[in-house]
Amino acid sequence: MQRIETLGRHYGAFLTLCGTVAGALTFGVMCLVVANAVMRYGFNRPIAGTLELTEGALPFMIFLSLALTQFHGGHIKVVLLTQALSPALARAAKVFAMLLGAVLFAWAAYAGWLMAVKSFAMGELERGSIRFPIWPVKFAVFFGLMLLSIQFFLDAIYCALGGNLDEPSQEVTP
């Protein structure tokens, strides 16, 4: 139990690092979008590649933070039935829920991997007002989905060993 907790903490620190990169990108995109609007109105010279760069950045922003959100227990779940279950059954339901997440996102990560490899093999390019390879963006999708699958798996083990995951009352939604 202690080992899985330590592992979980280290993994969480790594996810926070990924999230910080995503956060920095978000900040960068904000600056780019504002600068582009200012350059367009002020100087009739929009910044070439604003659209392509923003578009390319969003998957990084999302997929570098997806697992961190699960780490903090922020994905929406509903607890109606489980509250009425016996503790053992409730735990089993929780482990099942986490394993389902692990399997789904492992599947999705595998699918993302296939897509990224294909894109790399054909040297797929973003061809707009600026050009750059698109496959790193696709690998980011794969990477984020894999991180999320692992986080669900860790949560499942932690829960099966008797750990208590956060209840959803703290969650933030739009």
Site size for another protein, by CB under 8 A? 85
Does residue 151 interact with another protein by CB under 8 A? Answer: no
Please calculate the CA angle 34-37-41 and round it to the nearest 5 degrees: 140
Spell out the long-range contacts of 78-83 with Cβ–Cβ below 8 A and sequence spacing 24 or more: 78/168, 79/167, 79/168
To another protein, the closest distance from the beta carbon of 60 in angstroms equals 9
Does residue 88 interact with another protein by CB under 8 A? Answer: no
Does residue 106 interact with another protein by CB under 8 A? Answer: no
Does residue 122 interact with another protein by CB under 8 A? Answer: yes
- List the interface residues with another protein, window 44-73 (CB under 8 A): 44-46, 48-49, 51-52, 54-59, 61-66, 68-69, 72
Query: By C-alpha distance, which of 101, 75, 87, 104 is closest to 162?
Result: 87
Does residue 173 interact with another protein by CB under 8 A? Answer: yes
As a dihedral over the C-alpha atoms of residue 77, residue 78, residue 81, residue 83, rounded to 10 degrees, the angle is: 90
Does residue 37 interact with another protein by CB under 8 A? Answer: yes
Task: Enter the tokens of residue 73.
Answer: 């227990």
Residues 13, 77, 161, 166: which binds another protein (CB under 8 A)? 77
Q: 50-63 and 2-43 helices cross at what angle (nearest 10)?
A: 160
Residues 4, 124, 132, 163: which binds another protein (CB under 8 A)? 124
